[in-house]
Chain A
Amino acid sequence: MPEETGVMAVLEVKDLIKDFGGLRAVSNVTFHVDEGEIMGLIGPNGSGKTTIFNCITSYFPITSGRVFFKGTNITGMKTHQICRLGIGRTFQVVRPLARMSVLDNVTASAFSRVNSIKEARSEAERVLDFCALLGEKDKLAKSLPIGGRKRLEIARALATKPRLLLLDETAAGLNPSELDEAIELIKKIRESGVSILIVEHIMKVIMSISDRIHAINFGQTIAEGKPDEVANNRAVIEAYLGEEYAQG
């Protein structure tokens, strides 16, 4: 159980291990995300961030460890069940439903909470408006530029009414002005009461929005704490920049 902060953890990952054959991609990672918190997950390329996401949402079975969502053990549940419990996710490599319109993409996702087409469509339009995509709703998803696709990923995840949102490099590939919009959007999502676990490489984003950061390298935890603490952590600098920078 998390410390007595009075705030219940939305997500708890305990002693997570994931092996791919002989390769240990994630080893003994433990962390939690508090209600209403933005938790950043950082680490160099290949350190296991996306693998952790895939373990939480059960894209593949985990080797050992447990995952709790609002106190419920969700380890081993099916991906779609986890979504229905209230965990939404986006994909690092965007996966729009290409030959469907933007509105249909989000409508399909809104059906996870409502049954009638009318409700699903109005919910989809509300979410698209929230993500500033309403103007593009009749375009085919594949015709959107990368910034739009990233926002579509978020919109689709939001339409499932998540309590926790897993964002996998939503800001990668965006230009500076799109980046600011993305930061604004993520803050707006948090204000609407959704907790967020975010993987991000762009330090401007992760440092400015995260409440806490969990850093990993080679699948192992190297640091956790407030953004400035983690940024000055020796192990983190070493992982990102190499040993000689960490000396100074």
Chain B
Amino acid sequence: MKLKHVILGIVGGAVAVFPLIIHSDYYQHLIIIALMWVVIGSSWNLLAGYTGQVSFGHAMFFGTGAYTAGIFVTKLEISAWWGMMFGGITAMILALVVGWICFRLRGPYFALATLAGGEIFRLIATNWESLTEGMVGILIIQTFRSKLPYYYIALALAASCVYVIYIIMKSKWGYYFLSIREDQDAAESLGINTVLYKNISLLVSAFFTGMAGAFYMNYMAFIDPEVVFSLHFISIMAILVGIVGGVATIMGPAVGAFVMVGVQELFRSSFFGMAPKYVSKAHALVFGLLVIFVIMFLANGIVGDWAKIKRSIFRLKTSS
């Protein structure tokens, strides 16, 4: 328990001072993206890992947040930073509708409904050109030239998201979410309004994912439907971050986010140009292999199976 806090402190401190020491825009960019994924992965984990409602459509909340911020600028001429707050709120409003429709379904049916929901929103964003500019996308002017402000905004967002989820899971809500995951009917007989609490979980999850989307708009300054409503770049990636890091653990998605962004970048850049160019095309394949590996050997993810990983490292050391 103690050691865990020390490690958390060291890693947290390292992330906090990183951009002051490493001035490379490239590495700062990678960490900003990883921090954004900490937010999305943790939000997904709250709903899927802790509450047991697996979503295949988190891109709809991410995209809605991003488009809210973007449309604030292009249509209302309000700073996209206001959009960041409202990105979360719009995603929550969307979540109310999604919850009202999809929580009539359970298990795989719920997952399929969210999958369809994500695709519906991609198509809406593509075709409602008067509002979203369609495939042309939305381009805004970045507020800051330096990466530093973005870095700390992302860090603050990631830290508050993880902290809020940590607090929630220590409260009545947390117990209720877990009960619903374990057995919805039994939960109902314990006096838990399962419909209400599933919706609360979805709302919190959508809020942070929407914020992350709005942050993405601010930071990248360009979005189009194929990116922010993407099934495999957002919805599936959210699941991978959760699974690789560790479903239903507080720090799992955070670890998963850094691992997945790292792996993605290694392949996208063909191992920083050291490998032949065609390697960059293989990142989806490697994601697949990674997931198979994690499911076979670390079913609870890196954080969930940390004791197991430590044991096998220890065994390697003693046998050599």
Contacts and interface: CB of A to CB of B under 8 A. Distances in A.
A192 interface: no
Contact of B191 (A84, A91, A97, A107): A84
B178 A100 contact: yes
Given A98-B182, A99-B182, A117-B170, A111 B189 contact: no
Interface of B: 170-172, 175-176, 178-179, 182-183, 185-194
A97 B175 CA distance: 11
A188 interface: no
B58 to A, nearest CB: 23
Given A96-B186, A99-B178, A112-B191, 6 more contacts: A57-B189, A83-B189, A83-B191, A97-B182, A98-B183, A109-B190
17 contacts: A80-B188, A84-B191, A88-B189, A91-B186, A95-B183, A95-B186, A96-B182, A97-B178, A99-B178, A100-B178, A100-B179, A108-B187, A108-B192, A109-B191, A111-B172, A112-B191, A117-B172
Contacts of A100: 178-179, 182
A156 interface: yes
A90 to B, nearest CB: 9
Contacts of A99: 178, 182
Nearest to A153: B186
Nearest to A89: B189
Interface of A: 57, 59, 78-80, 83-84, 88-89, 91, 95-100, 104, 107-109, 111-112, 115, 117, 120, 156-157, 159-160
Residues of B contacting A: mostly: helix
B175 A80 contact: no
Contact of A111 (B176, B185, B186): B176
Nearest to A161: B191
A108 B179 contact: yes
Contact of B192 (A80, A96, A117): A80
Contacts of B185: 59, 95
Contact of A79 (B175, B176, B188): B188
Nearest to A142: B182
Contacts of A98: 182-183
Most central of B172, B182, B190, B192 by chain A CB within 10 Å: B190
Given A97-B178, A100-B182, A108-B179, A80 B172 contact: no
Contacts of A84: 191
Contact of B175 (A104, A156, A157, A160): A104
Nearest to A57: B189
Contacts of A160: 190-191
Contacts of B187: 97, 108
B189 A79 contact: yes
Given A80-B194, A100-B182, A117-B171, A108 B176 contact: yes
A233 B170 CA distance: 55
B189 A108 contact: no
A107 B175 contact: yes
Contacts of A108: 175-176, 178-179, 187, 190, 192
A95 B171 CA distance: 23
Given A95-B183, A97-B183, A117-B172, A112 B190 contact: yes
B193 A80 contact: yes
A88 B188 CA distance: 11
Contact of B172 (A79, A97, A104, A115): A115
Nearest to A111: B172
Nearest to A107: B175
A97 B192 contact: no
A117 B176 CA distance: 12
A97 B193 contact: no
A204 B176 CA distance: 38
A112 B192 contact: yes
A100 B178 CA distance: 8
B4 to A, nearest CB: 19
A95 B179 CA distance: 11
A157 B188 CA distance: 11
A156 B190 contact: yes
Contacts of A57: 189
A110 to B, nearest CB: 9
Given A95-B183, A100-B182, A117-B170, A83 B175 contact: no
B316 to A, nearest CB: 29
A95 B64 CA distance: 39
A111 B186 CA distance: 14
A197 B244 CA distance: 48
B178 A80 contact: no
B189 A97 contact: no
